[in-house]
Structure 1
Amino acid sequence: MEIHYRLERPIAMDVHLRVEGFTVLLGLSGEGKSTLLKAIAGLLPASGTPFGGLPVQQRPIGYLPQGYGLFPHLRAWENVAFPLLPGADRHREAMDLLARMGLADWSERYPATLSGGQRQRVALARALARRPQLLLLDEPTSALDMATRDEILEDLIAEMRQLQIPVLAVTHDPHLATMADRMAVLAGGTIVQEGTPRELFAEPANEAVARLVGFRNIFPATVASASSTGVWVSGPGWRLQTAPRPWARPGMAVAVGIRSEEVEIQDAAAGGENALCLQVAGLRDEGLALRLKLRGALSLDVLLPRLRQRDGGIIDPSGSLQVYMAPEHVHLFPPQGSADDQPREGG
């Protein structure tokens, strides 16, 4: 399903994206993600397709706002039955939908007595009661606890795929995007990149996308040389090789991005290209992983999973380390506003 909506208030946006299966729209808070969903649902004045020009009640859309919007004075089955036509066997239909969500035994409960995941399922059953052609989910992870979030989301996504209803979920949580069939990134009122999660996480188009998908190491650089075999970039006291970039030109100001988990620790004797000796400026445990702050010619954030921690994770907090970054893990982003920094498909 192709979606193209334009609106001026409360934020100017011109958004064109494709929804396939479970699609996640990722963006920072304040970018207008919730505003876009309200526009598609007909709750805000906007022009676009599909469903443009139809009043809210005629749009075949299921909409789950943040907090789910359940009526606190109605039982679970009554919430689900609310959008059903009068005269129909509303109780039976509502119970069928709750059973599909695994909540038949909770049908007489009020929202205040349900967990976050249960309330989400009730709200989803109510949305499905409209027999929608499109489901809109606003920050679906916001009311879920970390212990059960993945299990609940996996069940819900599997249910949506079985129903073959396209879903557009908006979030600032990159973890949700990893579970999607397709994702897009919203920045500056437009889509700056879309494709599969694998494509966007592996090859973000620009700095904005890189930060949203978890890059902690992003710094300015200058292209020193470029050829069909690779690009060399440099800054004060350092020089790194990256994969070839057709758009890179010597002297061009660019940004370099490196994932924390793709920085390798190596023996000082190894040396070689893309190796730097840096000082340990801080370290802390993150569960079974170890996060390092390194300083020197470059300042790097490094995440060492359990299997990659040297000497069982014992690192001198005041010592130095030699790090290595494979050229394919050194990402290069064009100058903001350049032709190569425009919205694009995939990686």
Structure 2
Amino acid sequence: MASESMNAKQARNQCTKGKRQQHQQIKNRSSVSDGDGEDSFIFEAHEAWKDFHESLLRFYENGELCDITLKVGSKLISCHKLVLACVIPYFRAMFLSEMAEAKQTVIEIRDFDGDAIEDLVKFVYSSRLTLTVDNVQPLLYAACILQVELVARACCEYMKLHFHPSNCLAVRAFAESHNRIDLMDMADQYACEHFTEVVECEDFVSVSPQHLHKLLSSSDLKIDNEKQVYNAAIKWLLANPQHHSKWLDETLAQVRLPLLPVDFLMGVVAKEQIVKQNLKCRDLLDEARNYHLHLSSRAVPDFEYSVRTTPRKHTAGRPVVLMVGRKCWRPGPGIGLHSGIG
């Protein structure tokens, strides 16, 4: 019995000694000198942040320790001021201000979709968000107003993935109303790439004059020929007579009339009533005629090349046949319509 007791005591002493040595090794590896000869140990538990977030989420889901309620329509959302202030700049500014809402326990938020605000609050706690075609627009609206940029960017990327000729113009208008330049650029790029399909959709005639001009003036339009751009411009103009007094000639100026075939210029454009009745439109038609005359070796004095005489990217490499009188002129291989000038 004495021998067993002695063995047990020795084992305990050896274990204690081993732990002291292990502790000393850890201390030596992780210690930082403070300059006074004393060592300090810095312990960082990175996994504690996960536990912290999970605890906050449980408090939110169970309605525990909540100190603020958001009222959106008939929906009541109980949450925590500190958590909202950490992630949502709008609430941070509100709670740190002298506004009356800073001291209220119930804050009514108007003109928002209740489900969107609830989804946004859940994101604050969980860092997770499910986007769908049904909730992305109200979520983007809420994220823009409440200044949650992470969510706003995610919504923009989701919308980009779901662009269609039938919705890209409406999405672009929505983006413009909230000053989302990134989404506007995405929508414009898509509209240029699918221009002929977009023109056939009902939203096309409802775009603003400014947006129409941005589209029609783009060198990135994916088209077969300039006729498609002219037809799109006329379609919009005929559907919007209220804009003729201010925007008629500016709209036609976005079409590169000089790049239209002569027979189309004379047989279609020159006979269009709204073109014939507008002096500035007739000037644009004259510019196109002079361009063709200039290319036919009948040099036109003081003729100036412009954006309208420059082919768009998707048509620049295609052969063009220009008919002047009974003569046919065809650019040679690799020769642009205004090569040799300048």
Q: Give the TM-score normalised by the residue count of structure 2.
A: 0.31
| Structure having greater relative contact order (Cα 8 Å, sep ≥ 6) | 1
Q: Give the TM-score normalised by the residue count of structure 1.
A: 0.31
- Higher strand content, 1 or 2: 1
